[in-house]
């Protein structure tokens, strides 16, 4: 049976590419590791190996730096000032040839992410800043919307058509963990934009609530109009009062 170490060595032998990136990170995180995270999120996902040089040489991470690197990484990817929208990523320790590496798996995201305000995409073994390339950014948004139906925009649905009680419930939930959460002082429209539940269609340039926003916050009748097969709540619930709980949302802009 192939061991974990053998799988990592096999990855290293393949070398950097569209879905694999090496970072030395001997004593601290490379600054561009977050650009790679952003690019992987925006493209097809991938694996980042910390403690490996670009050549594939295994350098390992200094033992006294491991805890700090892990903490710094987790803090940064959950910080909307660094990565927008923030994301949750696991970081695992792996032992290879007697040295400790950190492995980060980055899944493809349904959203378009920015790192330090810039949009990065993956091309071969590089992270490309496409922020100022309007056509490439438009193609990225189009691909996300074509792949993930929850990003479909409904321009005729207004924020006022949604259930304000559920939006306020969302605010209460995020305040449990962070009383200073940015959503606390946002109006409903800014909050929905922040969570990317209110977007602009890259083809029509029309703005509106997304399908994900409808599923989370629409009154039952509007929800049934959009998704006839959906049955919110149970028979004991009155119309417009389904017990939906808006969870798993992430901040996109402050």
Structure tokens at 245: 């709980």
Say if residue 61's pLDDT is above 80. Answer: yes
pLDDT tens digit string along 91-110? 999 999 999 999 999 999 88
pLDDT > 70 fraction of the chain, expressed in percent and rounded: 88
What pLDDT is attached to residue 240?
41
- 209 and 162 Cβ atoms separated by less than 8 Å: yes
Q: What is the rounded CA–CA span in Å between residue 53 and residue 67?
A: 20
**Under 8 Å CB-to-CB from 26, ≥6 apart: which residues?**
51, 59, 60, 61, 62, 65
Q: Residue with structure tokens 């009680």? A: 165
pLDDT of residue 188: 94
Q: What's this model's pTM, rounded to 2 decimal places?
A: 0.65
DSSP string, 22-49: EE--SSS--TTHHHHHHHHHHTT-EEEE
Is 252 a residue whose pLDDT tops 70?
A: no
For residue 79, the tally of other CB atoms under 10 A from its CB is 13
Question: What whole-number distance in Å separates Cα of residue 71 and Cα of residue 156?
Answer: 44
Strands 83-84 and 91-96: unpaired
């Amino acid at each position: 049976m192939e061991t974990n170490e053998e799988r990592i060595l096999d990855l290293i032998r393949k070398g950097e590419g569209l879905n694999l990136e090496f970072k030395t990170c001997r004593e601290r995180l490379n600054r561009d590791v977050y650009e790679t995270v952003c690019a992987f999120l925006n493209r097809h996902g991938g694996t980042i190996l910390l403690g490996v040089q670009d050549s594939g040489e295994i350098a390992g991470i200094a033992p006294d730096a491991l805890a700090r690197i892990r903490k710094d990484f987790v803090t940064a990817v959950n910080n909307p000032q660094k990565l927008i929208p923030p994301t949750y990523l696991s970081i695992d320790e792996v032992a290879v040839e007697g040295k400790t590496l950190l492995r980060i798996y980055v899944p493809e995201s349904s959203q378009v992410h920015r790192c330090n305000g810039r949009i990065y995409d993956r091309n071969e073994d590089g992270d490309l800043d496409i922020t100022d390339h309007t056509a490439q950014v438009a193609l990225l948004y189009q691909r996300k919307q074509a792949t993930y139906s929850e990003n479909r925009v409904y321009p005729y649905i207004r924020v006022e058509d949604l259930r304000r009680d559920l939006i306020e419930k969302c605010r209460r939930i995020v305040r449990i963990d962070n009383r200073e959460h940015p959503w606390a002082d946002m109006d409903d429209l800014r909050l929905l934009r922040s969570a990317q539940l209110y977007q602009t269609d890259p083809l029509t340039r029309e703005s509106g609530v997304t399908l994900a926003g409808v599923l989370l916050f629409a009154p039952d009748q509007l929800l049934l109009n959009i998704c006839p097969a959906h049955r919110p709540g149970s028979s004991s619930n009155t119309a417009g009062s389904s017990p939906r709980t808006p969870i798993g949302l992430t901040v996109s802009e402050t």
